[in-house]
Amino acid sequence: MADTSSALTYSDIGSAPRELWPVVLETRGWKDYRLLDMGAGEKLERYGRFTIARPEPQAMGTRSLPDSTWSRADAVFTGDTDEEGPGRWKFAGNVPETWPMAYGPVRYNGRFMSFRHVGVFPEQAAHWDWVNAKIRAERQKAPDKPLKILNLFGYTGMASLLPATEGAQVTHVDASKKAIGYARENQAMSGLEDLPVRWICEDASKFVAREVRRGNTYDGIILDPPKYGRGPKGEVWDIYTSLPGMLSDLQKLLAKDALFMILTAYAIRSSFVSIHELMAETLSTQGGLLESGELVIREDKGKRALSTSLFSRWSSR
């Protein structure tokens, strides 16, 4: 994994962060996840014991594995090639509604969701590891200091449960009751019910604005907003128009000695440069280091990398 920052020390609050781009953060897969092949507009992955084929416009090259391997996939998503477009799942045999997988101490269920999702975004593993390393280092320095993490648009909870296993107190916000239910299921099946995670079903912008009014702060902030979304009361989220205001509020929520803020963006007509510049503007007196680029997944045999999303992340050190 290309982590360019771990050996460096920075900070300098009051000045602009140092800037670094392009940074490519690579996930190579783990026991329960592999990118097996890609090409001809599709990707073939293994999630736990199931192989899954899905449309992937970024997979423009030629497939390496034979058609016979692709045609043995347990589940195939057909339909719109647009990331969030409609379509449907087709199953080869008896596939359960959910199946268990694990990443480190966290167990999670795979499930065939609408819009082609399967309950986890494997490329996020680069962020999970980075966040946990930051928390671990901080807790070694100050074991008794509580570390508060805010995870917005938290979906099925991996980015909430993993930092909690390192001792962080996590606030997880998502607009979907169903998604929060899945996240809590993951917590229960991991046997981690005692971890201090607050599950909040609310519009992310509203929650953040209220936290600013209350004067609350966080040591780390993670946000993985969709392109478009709705809060529980129909509040509209549009990344192009809603993100600037949210980042400006989030800057106010960073504790004086905050550790990090990570933004990921999927399927938008922007480059990492655009989200980098927005973060740089928002964090212009924060010191530290601001890195931006892409999250990619390396193929099983290591030959090619698949681009999945854009990110921009700030760290104080």
| Positions that interact with ligand SAM (CB under 6 A) | 121, 124, 153-156, 158-159, 173-176, 179, 203-204, 224, 226, 229-231, 235, 237
Q: Which of 203, 190, 133 is nearest to 156 (CA)?
A: 190
- For residue 78, what are its two tokens? 């057909």
Nearer to ligand SAM, 159 or 278 (CB): 159
Residue 213 Cβ vs ligand SAM, minimum distance, rounded to whole Å: 18
Backbone angles phi, psi at 199, to 5 degrees: -100, 120
Q: How far is CA 301 from CA 103, 114, 307, in A?
A: 20, 30, 16
- Nearest approach in angstroms of CB 230 to ligand SAM is 6
CB 283, min distance to ligand SAM, A: 21
Nearest to 157 by CA among 124, 130, 135, 179: 179
What is d(CA 157, CA 149) in angstroms, rounded to the nearest whole number? 13
Is 288 exposed, middle or buried (CB count within 10 Å of its CB: 0-12, 13-18, 19+)? buried
CB nearer to ligand SAM: give 38 or 120: 120
Task: State the nearest-atom distance from the C-beta of 201 to ligand SAM, in Å.
Answer: 9
CB closer to ligand SAM out of 96 and 181: 181
User: In the complex, what is the shortest distance from the CB of residue 228 to ligand SAM, in angstroms, rounded to a whole number?
Assistant: 8
How far apart are the C-alpha atoms of 214 and 286, rounded to whole Å? 21
In order, the DSSP letters of 65-115 are S-HHHHTT-SEEEEE--STT--EEEEESS---SEEEEEETTEEEEEE--GG
Is the CB of 202 or the CB of 257 nearer to ligand SAM?
202
| Least distance in angstroms from the C-beta of 211 to ligand SAM | 13
Nearer to ligand SAM, 206 or 252 (CB): 206
For the bound state, the minimum distance from the C-beta of residue 178 to ligand SAM, rounded and expressed in Å, comes to: 8
Q: Which is nearer to ligand SAM, 70 or 204 (CB)?
A: 204
Q: Is 233 exposed, middle or buried (0-12, 13-18, 19+ CB in 10 A)?
A: exposed
Residue with smaller CB distance to ligand SAM, 112 or 237:
237
Tokens of 192: 């981690």
